[in-house]
Amino acid sequence: MKNFIAAIGLLFFLQSAWAIDIGDAKDQGLVGEANSGYLAAVHTPANAEVRALIVDVNAKRKDHFEETAKKTGATTEQVAYRFYELAVQRTTPGHYYQDANGHWKKK
């Protein structure tokens, strides 16, 4: 039983070690900065690993946007849009972002 539990623990460790991070996903052109302020898949359908990354990053962003909105008196949407504007400015050449019309552009 202990070996089984150890094997499960090792499996979870290796799975997280293999998980793609946001930098790798952007480098590979899998995700980009959506005009909503959130991360999105550049090409759909995205694989499960990319979808999981997007869900994780966007949950954190939403929390941050809501917290900032409460502190500043802005709406969550205003905070998200300002984040998008800054993210586009900081986007590395070769990475993707959406323009105002929702079209993907490579910087």
pLDDT at residue number 78 = 97
- The pTM score is 0.80
Handedness of CA 63, 53, 35, 90 (dihedral sign): positive
Whether residue 21 has pLDDT greater than 50: yes
CB < 8 Å & 24+ apart, contacts of 81-89: 81/37, 82/37, 83/37, 84/33, 84/34, 84/35, 84/36, 84/37, 87/33, 87/37, 88/33
Number of alpha carbons in the 13 Å side-chain half-sphere of residue 20: 20
pLDDT digits (tens, 9 = 90+) for 24-66: 999 999 999 999 999 999 999 999 999 999 999 999 999 999 9
Express each pLDDT in 85-100 by its tens digit: 999 999 999 999 999 9
